[in-house]
Chain A
Amino acid sequence: QLQLQESGPGLVKPSETLSLTCTVSGGSISSSSYYWGWIRQPPGKGLEWIGSIYYSGSTYYNPSLKSRVTISVDTSKNQFSLKLSSVTAADTAVYYCARLEMATRSVDYWGQGTLVTVSS
C-alpha cells in the first residue's frame, strides 16, 4: 500500500523559507506513470494547488506562487520536497503531498498533511 508522509517544521517565521519533505513508501517515485505534487489548505478554507514534479525533474508551478516555490525530487531517497520562500501569515496552512496518476489525470493518494504556521 502506497504511503506518503510529510515532514518538516510546524512553525516558520515571517520572511523565512518553509521547507517540507514527502517520503514515499510502498512504491517508487521513479515510476513513469505518476507525477508528485503539493497541495495546501488554509484553516477552514479550500484546496490550493502549489505545484508538481515528474521523476525526471520537470516541474509545474501555480503561477500565483511560482516566484517563491521550488519543488525538487530525490529518487535515491524516494522523496520529493517543497520550498516556499518569503512566507507570510497567508501561507499558514495544512500542506499535503500527493501522487498524481497520469492514467486518470487525478490525485489518487494523499499524505496525512502537516500544519505549518507562519508566526514570529
Chain B
Amino acid sequence: DVVMTQSPLSLPVTLGQPASISCRSSQSLVYSDGNTYLNWFQQRPGQSPRRLIYKVSNRDSGVPDRFSGSGSGTDFTLKISRVEAEDVGVYYCMQGTHWPPISSCFGQGTKLEIK
C-alpha cells in the first residue's frame, strides 16, 4: 500500500503571510502514462472537502491563484502565497496513481489556523 505522509499536521500562519504544506508518498506517484496523480483538497470547518489541485499543479476552476502545487516523484508541496481568513481549514493530499483507490490514499491532513 502507498502511504501518504503530510507535514506539518498543524500550521499557524499570520494573515498575509505564506504557508507551505508537504506531502510525501511511500512510493513514486509517476504512473505508466507519464502523469503524476497527486491531488490537494481543502476542508473548511463544517464543510465537505473540495478539490484545489489535481495532477500535482493544476488548479480547479474557481480556486484562487494564491494556491499552487508542485513536486515530483514522492515529494509534493501545496503553497499559499498570502494566507487569507477563508483559508482556515484542513488540507489533505490524495494519491490517485494506484487506481481505483482501495485504502490509505489520503494524507493525515494539515490543520491551518490563523495566528
Give A contacts to B, CB under 8 Å. Answer: 35, 37, 46-49, 51-52, 60-64, 96, 100, 102, 104-108, 110-113
Given A108-B54, A110-B48, A112-B48; 6 other pairs, CB 8 A cutoff: A60-B101, A104-B96, A105-B37, A106-B39, A107-B49, A110-B49
A-B contact pairs, 7 of them (CB 8 A): A96-B49, A100-B100, A102-B99, A104-B54, A104-B55, A106-B51, A110-B48
The prevalent SS among residues of A at the interface is strand
Contact A104 B100 (CB under 8 A): no
Nearest CB of A to B67, in Å? 15
Count, A-B residue pairs, CB within 8 A: 69
Whether A49 pairs with B97 at a CB distance below 8 angstroms is no
* CB neighbours of A106 from chain B (8 A): 37, 39, 51, 54, 94, 96
Min CB distance, A117 to chain B, in Å?
A: 17
Residues of B that sit less than 8 Å from A by CB: 31, 37, 39, 41, 48-51, 54-55, 58, 60, 90, 92, 94, 96-97, 99-109
Q: Which residues of A contact B108 (CB under 8 A)?
A: 46
Shortest beta-carbon distance from B60 to chain A in Å:
8
Per the bound structure, the CA–CA distance linking A52 and B50 in Å amounts to 18
